[in-house]
Chain A
């Protein structure tokens, strides 16, 4: 490109930069300031510069438990989505019939086209005590009493996996499309059993997709709101609903702010640590 002709290309970034500054960075700075304030029952929030809210979070086993549960649920659901996503993505990527392929890809992303709460409500209908699952179990005589699925960790996991799976499949499929079949064939002709071929050739080449897909799913699961709120209910709590509850029910803005920051920090730290680990293990992805 010719130098000095017209405005610098970086100028094109400025509308987006403006939106991010006003809509994201500024409120976050304000929220961080809130998290250092003090809560009072009368005035709700009083100006202060204290780390008491953070201290409260990290000294209370209940909140630490919710954080631990959130991390565990996010990791497990990401892992399950990965295990389910790899075969599905492989099948999609290696499908040669173009019509069937686009139909299946559309089917994969259709859940993303409807609202999260609508989908979650659907899971409630399926998993509830009088839901479809229990109706079938009772009809088949497998159980006399309805099995409690809704409002348990298992239910949250099932619904979360379903929510994040499309992202995982699409991330993996896009990378798999770029891995020519000839690499698989080369490994096979050199004497590798299909399972060995998968482990030694396909998996390392798929690493960028595994990494980006898992990252996306982990972040989505960590910050999931509607799914744990509606499916976990009062008995299985995760971080995002808890923050909202502090904000709108207890009106403890300083504590809610500090919780939001803890959630964000933990997410960012996990992402950075895992990317460092993946880079060490598999080279640049």
Chain B
């Protein structure tokens, strides 16, 4: 277990820049998620940390150890692959024991540690099974046990839950979090699934085109997105284009004036930018809520019942469309074609 530091890390494939001069520190015991669409460079970063891909430039440190030039087998990492990559010709116990055998531990110690690792992932009873006799969720647990049993400096997870169905994913998410906390392993998880990243990690790195778009806690990213890309990638957002006209005032192209409280560093007051607000921060009703700073009137175009919430598509007179998420049981019933007023606060409004 150690702090991991990436210094100006860069990877080029020919003229293509997969990762561009990236610096990042992951604290000892931290759970960090690298989040981004496919092709954003997140997997390349993970592969460079593990040593499977050579960095074009930059350095990687595990604690005081500079591992940049080390091959993967000398780095002491636990990597859980997307498809698990369990050795098909070895039993569950043999799979878990593999890394310990490579470290030339004695048989008793190996047996003991394999058993306790399998107990940690609740698979002690399946030690003598072959991987193909296990369900997807069980295979994932074996992969996890195989990675943590060697007490790695870093636990690296590559889209760890993408091959599982929704219910199992949720269950394993809890388990991975519990495991990571109790062991205190520095963990980096690569995922394109924002829900997975938000629920697992204490800190998120949003990547785009090989660069870091924003680093922050889940609520940082959600409440204070640094760019339109982040706001769109994490959760749903409404956006209207326009420009900032005063310290806290934004005028859209269609002429609405909105008050905002947060402005990303990139959106300077004179350049064209966008104002954003989350669908669930908007109140929908026939009358405006005077306690809130921003209001707009429109017509309900579509209603989608989503269980916990109801989604309304509202068309503004300017023909722009906004999405509103409201509680499933509104005080006053709203139907398609109804004229409504939307209200939301300036705190819930950001300019990117």
Contacting pair A189 B72 (CB below 8 A):
yes
Contact A192/B87 with A182-B81, A185-B72, A185-B81 known, Cβ cut-off 8 Å: no
List chain A positions with a Cβ less than 8 A from chain B: 180, 182-183, 185-194, 196-197, 200-201, 204-205, 207, 282-283
Question: A200-B98, A204-B89, A282-B89 known; A193 and B81 CB under 8 Å?
Answer: no
Contact A191 B81, beta carbon cutoff 8 Å? no
Extra A-B contacts (13), CB below 8 Å, given A189-B79, A191-B102: A180-B83, A182-B81, A185-B81, A186-B79, A186-B86, A188-B73, A189-B50, A189-B78, A190-B98, A190-B102, A191-B73, A191-B99, A205-B89
CA distance A197 to B89 in the complex (A): 13
Complex CA gap A200/B89 in Å reads: 10
Closest to A182 in B: B85
Residues in chain A near residue B85, CB distance under 8 A: 180, 182-183, 185-186
| Complex CA–CA separation, A187 to B78 (angstroms) | 11
- The answer to whether A188 and B88 touch across the interface, beta carbons within 8 angstroms, is no
Which residues of A have CB within 8 Å of B51?
188-189
Residues in chain A near residue B150, CB distance under 8 A? 190-191
Interface residue? B286 (CB, 8 A)? no
B89 lies within 8 A of A191 (CB):
no
Query: Contact at B52–A188, with CB atoms within 8 Å?
Result: yes
Name the distance in Å between B130's Cβ and chain A's nearest Cβ: 9
- Is the interface on chain B under 10, 10 to 19, 20 to 34, or 35 or more residues? 20 to 34
Residues of A contacting B: mostly: helix
Where chain B touches its partner, the secondary structure class is: loop
Instruction: List, in ascending order, chain B residues with CB within 8 A of A186's CB.
Output: 79, 81, 85-87
Cα separation A197 to B76 with both chains bound (whole Å) = 16
> CB of B317 within 8 A of chain A?
no
A185–B52 CB distance below 8 A: yes
Q: Does B77 contact A (CB under 8 A)?
A: yes
User: Which has the most chain A C-beta neighbours within 10 Å: B78, B85, B86, B150?
Assistant: B85
Q: Give the residues in chain A near B72, CB-CB below 8 Å.
A: 185, 188-189
Which residues on B sit within 8 Å (CB–CB) of A185? 52, 72, 79, 81, 85
Chain B residues near A196 (CB, 8 Å)?
Answer: 102
Contacts of A192 in B (CB 8 A): 73, 98, 102
Interface-central residue, A182, A197, A205, A283, by most chain B CB under 10 Å: A182
Going nearest first, the 5 A-B pairs with the smallest beta carbon separation are A191-B102, A190-B99, A186-B85, A188-B72, A182-B85
Q: How far is the CA of A12 from the CA of B125 in the complex (A)?
A: 48
Question: B184 near A: Cβ within 8 Å?
Answer: no
In the bound assembly, the distance between CA atoms of A185 and B50 in angstroms comes to 10
- For B71, B72, B79, B88, the residue with the greatest tally of chain A CB atoms inside 10 Å of its CB is B72
A182-B81, A182-B83, A196-B102 known; A189+B52 contact, CB < 8 A: yes
Contact B87 A183 (CB under 8 A): yes
Roughly how many angstroms separate A73 CA and B51 CA in the complex, as a whole number? 45
Q: Is the CB of A191 within 8 A of B76?
A: yes
Q: Is there contact, CB below 8 Å, between B102 and A189?
A: no
CB distance from B13 to the nearest CB of A (A): 12
Inter-chain contact B88/A190, CB cutoff 8 Å: no
B residues 83-127 in Cβ contact with A at 8 Å: 83, 85-89, 98-99, 102-103
Q: Which residues of B contact A188 (CB under 8 A)?
A: 51-52, 71-73
CB nearest neighbor in A for B146? A190
Question: What is the bound-complex CA distance between A201 and B50, given in angstroms?
Answer: 19
B96 to A, closest residue via Cβ: A190
B92 to chain A, nearest CB (A): 14
Of A187, A191, A194, A282, which contacts B103 at CB under 8 A?
A: A191
Point out the residues of chain A lying under 8 angstroms from B81, CB to CB: 182, 185-186
Q: How far is the CA of A201 from the CA of B83 in the complex (A)?
A: 17
CA distance A204 to B89 in the complex (A): 7
In the complex, what residues of B have CB within 8 A of residue A182's CB? Answer: 81, 83, 85
Partner of A205, one of B77, B79, B88, B102: B88
How many Å from the CB of B85 to the closest CB on chain A? 4
Q: Scan B247-258; emit 1 where CB is below 8 A from any A CB, else 0.
A: 000000000000
Contacting residues, chain B, for A200 (C-beta < 8 A): 98
CB-nearest residue of chain A to B47: A185
Chain B residues within an 8 Å CB radius of A204: 89
Give chain A residues whose Cβ lies under 8 Å from the Cβ of B87: 183, 186-187, 201, 205
Q: Using an 8 Å CB-CB cutoff, how does the interface string of B51-80 with A read, 1 for contact, 0 for none? A: 110000000000000000001111111110
B144 shortest CB reach to chain A, Å: 13
A sample of 6 inter-chain contacts (CB < 8 A) reads A183-B87, A186-B87, A191-B73, A191-B74, A191-B99, A207-B89
